[in-house]
Amino acid sequence: MLETDQITQDEVRQIVREEIQRAFKKDPAKKKLSMVASKGTLDWAYPPLILATAGAAANMEAAIFFTFYGLNIIHKDFDKKLLVAPTGNPAMPMPVPMPDVITGMPGMKTFATGMMKSMFKKKGVATIKELLDVAVELEVRLIACQMTMDVFGFEESDFIDGVEFGGAAAFLSDARKSHVTLFI
């Protein structure tokens, strides 16, 4: 046995510290992004899809669990279902300030939805359809919550292609391995 192969306690500690530092830098949880999408309006459909596609583009493994009103986002009719409600959100930019009894009038949801779509289009922001297509292409996992599907009366065939089905346990099993976990 060669003396150069021998190793001291101090050398061992040195190796251990180096390896641990390297391991924390490559912590697998840093590469995972797990989100819940629970809102069903046009404005709140954007954040989960933008974050998931940005994450996937940066080589993160992204998953979105759609539950409650968020099921609208992956419904085949998402374009009709995702509306904007100016009522109850004084932060929503309107052409002129309006009290909620006005923003609550018939036709105002259609007006606000059209206004938001045209603002986003003019600024070159992707549509929900484009973001969903990119998400599927980049292998973002889209999981529909079975419990709320059942409550709201949705069938598996109501959703776009590529959607998986699971429960809260499925979300948690993914999220517990992720550093980035967001409820949107």
Site for a copy of itself in 18-47 (CB under 8 A): 19-20, 23-24, 27-31, 33-36, 38-41, 43, 46-47
Binders of a copy of itself in range 46-75 (CB under 8 A): 46-47, 50-51, 54-55, 57-58, 60, 67-69, 72
Contact pick of 61, 81, 117, 158 for a copy of itself (by CB under 8 A): 81
Nearest approach in angstroms of CB 157 to a copy of itself is: 18
Cβ closer to a copy of itself: 29 or 165?
29
Q: Does 84 bind a copy of itself (CB under 8 A)?
A: yes
Cβ closer to a copy of itself: 142 or 154?
154
Q: Does 144 bind a copy of itself (CB under 8 A)?
A: no
Buried b (16+ CB within 10 A) or exposed e, 51-77: bbbebbeeebbbbbbbbbbbbbbbbee
Dist. CA 16–CA 176, nearest whole Å:
26
The most distant pair of C-alpha atoms in the chain lies apart, rounded to whole Å, by: 89
DSSP codes of every residue in 67-110: -GGGGGGGBTTHHHH-B---TT-TTS--SS---HHHHTSTTHHH
Beta bridge pairs of residue 65: 36, 143
Q: Does 76 bind a copy of itself (CB under 8 A)?
A: no
CB 52 within 8 A of CB 62: yes
Contact pick of 76, 78, 85, 115 for a copy of itself (by CB under 8 A): 85
Which of 146, 143, 140 lies closest to 171, judged by CA?
143
Binders of a copy of itself in range 154-173 (CB under 8 A): 167-169, 171-173
Binders of a copy of itself in range 111-130 (CB under 8 A): 119-120, 123, 125
Q: Does 140 bind a copy of itself (CB under 8 A)?
A: no
User: Alpha-carbon dihedral of residues 122, 39, 181, 165, nearest 10 degrees?
Assistant: -110
